[in-house]
Structure 1
């Protein structure tokens, strides 16, 4: 088979498309397995800017490729028409064309166009490709090691950002405690914290500034305590002899203004509730009609009351495989939240709002469920971020049955 990758004249060629074509013409192609490349590309989707329908199109194209084409000198070419992809994804052909273009410009696929623009593959009796025209995933094979390094760096950065956020929250509370304990340093410390918030270029820089400020504050306070201790050496400890003379009520009456003020305040505190007290019937009716809003802790208990971490781990194998983590503890699930929310394209604001409304563990469990469902059936969940918000709304209303969804995933564990 010819290793020349032509691009049809009707396409608007960009530098990224040319770069992908050059990768597809490379003869030094590493030996890879289809499953390994597919999992890696899904993990790298946030890095490559692949989401939504583009992710769905990529998943379909990878599924249509043959495993033997990914080995040796094979070229994983997929010959499927835009009309068929539009039918699979329930999108228009123009949308499919734009999605394929994004995959090519991302550097994981290349155009291999025939003179007529049709896509087809001719194979020999052994299944090898004699001639093929379509979407060529050779660039993904060539860049396998590079993309793998980028995914590892991406995960390390996410872990560092998560740790930095924890440090910022912890040190912010610690410095506020220092301000309460040492009021003379409060104004200066708060102004320095505010300055760090304004000048920090990111969460990592902010965490480093907070660590430096906290260490400096502790050092200054310790140095001042040492100076005070040295200044107090040689002083004589004198115990104050305080004589308290309890005055009688008659003496208090004779004292005048100060006792009268105390008596007035006491009488006002006792009389004030009596003055605004509502009739008994009205008060009972108000208590009966009032429906307190459940807290996030109560909602989390209700959502996860019958859900174990083992059930969640069994129900979400593909989600764990994609992010490279295991949901063996609730803390591990919570730590994976940042990676999970990026995999479905959920904004940071939507993720924080979900954690605030239903609790950290319940939000992470819902997020893992949404990702698992979207991986198994992308057609069913075209917008995972909106699906997550809808599940959070149902949980807040007490209508979410997460246990049933997880058992459904366990029963269809190996469904495509």
Structure 2
């Protein structure tokens, strides 16, 4: 044992690193690739900031040619040099290096005098060897990937918990406005939030609670004949009037379209009003919707003529100062409408991901239209999520909602 080594406390981790360094290296790599893998594995190995800074200096001090064949990459930087570079004491440097050895990245290659150096002919090199890290390169790569996956999963679970809590808060506001007791559900949500469990477990529990809460509150509001998102099925809160008194000659529909609008087949969605060209010019072909974007959910807008949408959104267009001539115009204005009604970006993105951009944009526009007409929508976020839940069950009838808006009292230009 060398003079320098006999004062060093040896433990099991140091012995394991020394054993790895004594093995013949089989893995060929480059200095750049090795540095990338080793540094990416540092969070998984719980490498502190000081150790990471020392590691960075030592990696830079190795020679590129020492990472190939049977050569050994060794850094010969002294403790005094590292202490000066890291602005700390040499004792601190010794502790940092010991931590890197115990982590299985470095191994001691001590000279008889304890000094680190490289001979002029390069035959003798003493210092800190990266042989353990080179032997474990594949293992370190897997550790880094698993750590990144764990972080991504934890972030996703955190977002799911926050989203569920926001949804429950929206539902609580809607329940209180409708006179529904929300105390028990709120207590359950707080208990789940404070329980000693990982975020994934909390997210799953909150999701189950939210699903049951939606059903319970909706049933209570429905019994009390309070307005909720279930109104999209019938739109009973709107009072039908004769739309002909408000429609100009350029937008008044033909007699055939009027017959379709009053027929009993409206609910089936097979025949739509305004399917034919409007009388008096201004004809436009129905824009085709790419079904692949909207077939993700059970609700689709593929059978809805956009002229019907444009006519129904008679208050949204002037108030938001937008032109709606085709579906692409609605998609471009979706973010403006979403922000205008106070709908969170995360709730909108979730709805678009589950049911398609067209369905989400149209639902947001419908909420804006109803709000501008004075409808009692206390929580646009809760209303939107309710529409998405109805769409998931196949109960959201956007065609009937649009007809209800057209038949309601609305000053149409």
Instruction: Normalising by structure 2, report the TM-score.
Output: 0.49
Q: From the two aligned structures, give the one with the greater helix fraction.
A: 1
